[in-house]
Amino acid sequence: MIIKAFWARLTVAVLLPVSLVTLTLTPIVVSHLEERVDGTRRSAEALLASEYDLLLRGMNESFNQVLATAEYPLLRRFLSRQDAAETPTWGLAAQSDWEQLEALFDTLLTHFGRYTRLAVVDTEGREWVATSTVPLLPRPPVVDHGTSTAFLQAMALQARDLYVSSPHLGASGAEQTPVTTVIDIATPIVGDQGERLGVLLFTLDWSRLTASLPHARESRGEALLAGAQGRWLLPDTDGQEARFGQPVATHWPAAWSAMSDRNQGTVTLENHLLAFRSHDLRTQHYRSQAGTIISDPGTQPWRLGILMLRPTLWGLLKENPVQPLAITLVYLLSVAFGLFWVLSNHRLRGLRQRALLFSREARQYANEVQDLYEHAPCGYHSLDSDGRVIKINRTELEWLGYRADEVIEKRRYRDFVTPETRAAFDAAFRQVLGEGQEGSAECELQCRDGTRLPVAIQATAQVTDDGFQYSRAMVFDLSERKALEERLERQALADPLTGLGNRRALEDQAAMEIARAERSGAPLSLIAVDLDHFKRINDTYGHDVGDMVLQAFAKLARQVLRDGDVLCRMGGEEFAVLLPDTHREQALQVAERLREAVATTPAQVGQDATEDGTLAYTASLGVTLVCAGETTLKPAIKRADQGLYAAKETGRNRVEWEEA
C-alpha cells in the first residue's frame, strides 16, 4: 500500500505540474501563433496592394504613351500621304517623313525602355515604319499585318481606344526567336476629319515590366498571375520550372479554386496564406487616358495573388531554440508557477518590444509615404466642395512659387488657373462634384513670378456615406510635351531640301493674306514657277545635281523677291510666290525680274558635274490675281498653273498672265 501510494503521489507530482504547465502554456502558444498568422496575412495583403498598384501603374503608363504617340501630327500626315497614293510611294516628302518618324520612334524606344518594337500600319495592313530592339534594314519592308489580331481589333476601334493582347511569347532584342514574353498594345490613328489612317502598334516587354514588381525583388512570398481561363501569365525566371501559359491549377489547385470564386479576399490554404484580387483592363482603366480597352476573348479579368507560408508551431520552435529548452526545463524541474511567471514575463517583454518595433516601422513607412507625396515628380492637391485648397504637395507649391501657409485653407485653386483656361478647369471640377466623380483638363497655371505653366489635371472625388468629402488630383507638367509639339509643328511647315515653306505653309499664309486683302481691299497676286526641262537635268546629271539646282533657285529667288513676298516649294520643281498688295502690272514685273534672274544666273553644281562647275537653266512662270470672294488659294493656283502651261507651250522661259 505504501509503495502504491508513493507511486500514486509521484505520478500526481509529475502529472500535476505537467498539466499545470501545459494548461498555462497552451493559450500563450496559440495566441502567439495566431498573432504570427495575422502578421503574415497583413504582410501578404500589403505586398499584394503594392504589386497591384505598381502593375496597374506600369500598364496605364504604357496606355498613355501609346495614345500620346498616336496623336503626333507627323504620324497622321505620313499615313495621309500614303493613303492618298494609289500605290505605295517613297517620294522626297514621304522619305523625309519616314526618316523623322524613324528618329522619333528610336527616341521613344530608348527613352521609355520598356518596349521591344514600335510599328505604324496603314489601313491596308502594310507596315510602313517599324522600330525595334532587333536590327532592321535602313527602310523596313512593307510587312502585311492584314490578318493579325492586333490590327483587325484596332481597326474596329474609335479614336483613343486600345486593344491589349494577353501576354504571349515574342521576339527579344537579340534575334527573331520567341525568347521573352510580350504584350501587344494597338490603337487606331485617326485624321483631323475623323478618317481612319492606320494603326499604331507597341510591343511591351512583359518580362521587363514584371521584373520591377516587388515579388521579383524580394523573397517574402510567391506571386500568382493568371488570366480568366487560369493560364499562368508571369514570365519564367532563371532557375524556375517552365510555367508560363500552363494552368495555375496544375501547381496550385486550391489557390486557383479560391481565386476563381471571388474577385478579392484572403484565404488560408493547407500550408499557405493567399491574398488575391482581380483586375479587368477593359473596365478598370480610370487612371489612364484611354476611352475603351478591349482584349482577346476569355482573357479578362486578370487574377493576382500573393502566397506566403503559414506559420506553424514547429516553425516557431525552430526559430528560437531557447523556447523548447525552457519548456523542457519547466517540465523537468516541476517549478510550474515560478517558471511560468518568468517565461510569461519574458514573453510579454518580447511582445511589447515587437509591438514597439512594429510601431516604429509603421511611423517610418508613414514618413516615407509622406516624403513620396511631397517630392513626387507630379503635383498632388485636394480641394473641398468650394474648390478651396485643403492639401497640396511641395512639388506643386514650388511650381507655383508659394508657401503652404499661403495657400492651404486660404486660396481657391481656380485662382491659380489663367483666365483663358479657367473654363476648362471649372468644367472638370463640376464633373468631379457630379455623378461621374472624376474629371480631367489641360490648363495653364499662373505662377507667382508671372510665368505660365501648362499642366494636365486628373481628379477624382473622395466620397463616403456622408457624401462628397474632398477631391484628389494629380497635376502633370506639360512643358516638355508642349515644346515638342511646337517643334514638330515648325518642322511640318518647312521643305527640308530648300528650307522654304511647303504647301501647307503656303495655305496657312494665304488664309491670312486673303482675309487681310478682303478687309483692306488691297490686291493679292500669285505666281506659279516651274523649272524647265528639270527631268532632263536629273536624267543627265543625276538627282544630286537636280537638288543643287533646286537649292540654287531657292537662294536666287529669295534675293530677287521683295520683302513680304511669300516663296514656297509646292513639290518637285514647282514653286509658288504669293504677292501681297500687288496688282497685275507689278506682279508681271516681279515675275519677269525673277525669270530674267534665273536665265542669267547658272546654278553652281561643281566641276564633277560640268567643266566650269555651273549649269544654266530657265523657268516658266504663270501669273494671276486672287479674286475677291475666293476664300482659299485653290482657284488662283489653278489659274496660275494654266498660265504656266501656256508659257510651256509657247517655248518655255516665259511669263504668261491668266485672267480670272
Q: Which residues are catalytic?
A: 573
Question: What one-character DSSP code corresponds to residue 448?
Answer: T
Please identify which residue in the block is written with the cell numbers 491596308.
124
Q: Give CB contacts under 8 A, 24+ apart, made by 128-133.
A: 128/78, 128/79, 128/82, 128/98, 128/198, 129/78, 129/98, 129/101, 129/102, 129/105, 130/105, 131/102, 131/105, 131/106, 132/171, 132/173, 132/203, 133/109, 133/172, 133/173
Q: Locate 51 and state its grid cell.
A: 504589386
Q: How many Cβ atoms are within 10 Å of 386's Cβ, its own excluded? A: 6
CB 167 within 8 Å of CB 183: yes
Q: What is the rounded CA–CA span in Å between residue 115 and residue 184?
A: 10
What is the DSSP pairing of strand 162-164 with strand 293-295? parallel
- Tell me how far apart the alpha carbons of residues 308 and 266 are, in angstroms, rounded to a whole number: 11
Give the number of other Cβ atoms within 10 Å of residue 351's Cβ. 14
Contacts of 164 (CB under 8 A, 6+ apart): 59, 63, 183, 184, 185, 281, 293, 294, 295
Beta strand extents in 334-393 (DSSP E only): 379-383, 389-392
Neighbour tally for 289: CB within 10 Å:
16
Cβ-contact 302, 166 below 8 angstroms? no
Rg (CA), the chain: 37
Place of cell 560640268: 610
Residue 243 sits at the vertex; the CA angle it makes with 239 and 245, to the nearest 5 degrees, is 145
Pseudo-torsion of CA 336, 340, 341, 343, nearest 10°? 150
DSSP character for 435? S
Peptide bond into 301 cis (omega under 30): yes
SS3 270: coil
Backbone angles phi, psi at 436, to 5 degrees: -65, -30
Pairing of strands 603-604, 614-615: antiparallel
- From the list 631, 496, 493, the residue with the least C-alpha distance to 566 is 493
